[in-house]
Structure 1
C-alpha cells in the first residue's frame, strides 16, 4: 500500500470513523441479540434519546460558536421542577410560558457573561451548574414534584401521546432538528455562528457582532433545554429535583460524536442527531447483551476520547501525529 493510499484511508477514517464504528457496533449488537433491531426497540431507543437530543441541538450552536455549556443538566432540572410546580398553581397554559421565560432568562444571563463580558465559558457554565442546582433546590424546598391530578390535565401530550403512530417526543425532536438545521445552514445567523467559532477576531473585523452572536447561542440553548424539561415533566408527570444531573456530559458527548469541534467553527445539526442516536443505541445494545448499566459510563468515556482524537485527526489530515 502506497503512502498516498494510506493517507487517503486515514483521511476517510478521520472524517467518517465514528460512523464506521457505529455500523460495526450495530451489526455486532444485532448478531448478539435479534431484539436489538426490532421495530419496538428502535422506537424505544429513539424516544428515550429524544430529551437528550433536544438539549444537544441547542448545545451544538454553542460549541460551533467556540464555547461550552455545562449548565444544561442543572437547567433542565430547573425547568422540569418549575413547570411541574406551576402546573398545579396556575394551570399548564400559564405554567409552560412562565417556565420558558425563566429558563430563557438563565440562558440570557450566561450569554451576557460569556458574550458581552467575555468570561471563559467553561468557568461560567461550571459555576452556573452549581448555582442553578441550588436555585432548583430552593424552588422545590428540597422536595420532588408531582402533578396532583394526573388524569384531568392535557399536559401529558408532550411526553406520552403519539401522532400517526409516532411518539410525540420523537416528533418534537425531529421537528426541532429540521428547524434548527435550516437556521444553522441556510440563514445569515448560522453563517455568523460558524464565523465566530472559526475565528472570532476575524469575524469581529468583518463587522459581525461577535458578542451578540454568542449571546444568542446561549439563549437558543436555553430554549432547547426548556423544551426538554417540558418533555421530561410531561412524560413522567412528576420528577426528582436532580433529574438532569449529569446530562451535561452526555449532551456534550453526543455533540462531539456528531463531529462538532471543541475548537469551534465546525459541526452540523444532522450530525448531532447521529451522535445522539449513536449514544442511545450503544447504551441499549450493551444492556441487551447482558452488561450492567454502569458499563455505559466507561463506554461513554472511551467514545468521547475516540471522538476527540478523530476530530483532531480530521483537522491535521492524518490519524497519528507527524512527529509520533
Structure 2
C-alpha cells in the first residue's frame, strides 16, 4: 500500500508542477508585455554605466533632464491627443514656427508682447487642426501630416528662408526661460515640472480628463453618453499647441537664435516618448507621469549612446527601433501575449 501511495503522489505532483511552470511563464510573459520597456531601460542603464562611469554623474543627469525638457513639454500635450484616440504629427514644424516667430517679434515689439503674440498665433494653428479633426471628423494622421508640411512652408515664408537671431543678446531678460537657474535647478526643468503637474491634475482629477479617456476608449459610446466628442478633441489639440508654444519659448530663450528647421523630426521623438510612457496608439490609456518617464527613458538612452561613442546620426536608427519595440509591447499588453496566436 505504501508503494501504491508513493506512486500516486508522484503521478499527481507532475501535472501540478507543469501547471505551475506554465502559470509562471504566462505570468512572466504578461509582466514583460506590460513592463518590458522598463526592463529594457534597466538593461540600457546598467550597460551604459559599465561602459562609461560618467553616465551617472550628477552633472550629466541634470544635463540630460534639462535637454529633455523641450521634448518633454511637447510630449505632455501630445499625450492628451493620443489618449483621445488621435495623432499629432505637426508638433515639430509648429515648434519651429513658434521659435522663429517669438525671436522675430522680440526685436520688433519687445519680449513682453512677443511672447503672448507667439502663443496666440500657435494656438490659432492648434485650433484649426482641432476643428478639422474634431468637428469635421477628418483623419488625424492625414490632417496633421499635411499640416506638418504646411506649417513648415509657413515658417519659411515668415522668415524669408533665413534663420533668426536676437540683435541685443546681452541686454534682454528673455534668456531667463532657457538659461537661468532657481536654487540650482535650471528653469527649463522647473517649467517642465510645472506644466506636467498642472496637466497631470487636469487629466487625472477633472471631468475633462475622464472625458478624454472616454472619447479615446470608445468614441461612439462617449457620444451616446452625452459627451461632446468634437469639443474634447478640439480642446486636446489646443492643449497640444499650448505645449508646443511653451517648447518654442524655451528653445528660443535657450539659444537666443534659431534655424528655421529647429523642430524638424521632433514629432517622431515626441511620439516615441509618449508611447514609451505607456499611452496606447488605440487611445483610451496613458498618464502624464508615465509620459515624463518615457521622455526620460528616451533622453538617457540617447545620452548613453553618445557617451559610448556612437555618432549622433545613429540615434535616428535607435529611435526607430525604440518606436517599433514600444508599439509591439503596446499591442502585446492589449492581447496579453507577446506573440500573436495567429501565424
Question: What's the CA shift string for 1:37-91, capped at 9, x where partnerless?
Answer: 0000000011111000000000000000000000000000000000000000000
Aligned-partner Cα distance in 1 for 2:325–2:185: 33
Match of 1:133 in 2: 152
Match of 1:298 in 2: 317
Match of 1:162 in 2: 181
Shift of 1:290: 1.0
1:190 maps to 2:200: no
Match of 1:29 in 2: 48
Shift of 1:5: 1.2
Match of 1:236 in 2: 255
1:20 maps to 2:39: yes
1:124 counterpart SS class: helix
Match of 1:64 in 2: 83
Could you tell which deviates more after superposition, 7-16 or 153-162? 7-16
Match of 1:105 in 2: 124
Aligned-partner Cα distance in 2 for 1:78–1:305: 29
Q: How does 1:37-52 map to 2 (within 5 A)?
A: 37-52=56-71
TM-score, normalising length from structure 1? 0.99
Aligned-partner Cα distance in 1 for 2:322–2:162: 35
Aligned-partner Cα distance in 1 for 2:187–2:28: 41
Shift of 1:323: 2.6
RMSD across aligned C-alpha pairs, in angstroms? 0.7
Shift of 1:322: 1.9
Larger radius of gyration: 2
Match of 1:226 in 2: 245
Match of 2:194 in 1: 175
2:49 counterpart SS class: helix
Aligned-partner Cα distance in 2 for 1:163–1:114: 40
Aligned-partner Cα distance in 2 for 1:48–1:302: 22
Aligned-partner Cα distance in 2 for 1:56–1:280: 13
Question: What's the CA shift string for 1:236-275, capped at 9, x where partnerless?
Answer: 0000000000000100010011110000000011111111
1:214 maps to 2:233: yes
1:280 maps to 2:299: yes
Aligned-partner Cα distance in 1 for 2:313–2:254: 24
Match of 1:81 in 2: 100
Shift of 1:299: 1.1
TM-score, normalising length from structure 2? 0.94
1:152 maps to 2:175: no
1:8 maps to 2:27: yes
Aligned-partner Cα distance in 2 for 1:261–1:243: 28
1:242 counterpart SS class: coil
User: Deviation above 2 Å: which 4+ runs of structure 1?
Assistant: none
Shift of 1:279: 0.8
Match of 1:121 in 2: 140
Shift of 1:173: 0.5
1:312 maps to 2:308: no
Aligned-partner Cα distance in 1 for 2:261–2:110: 23
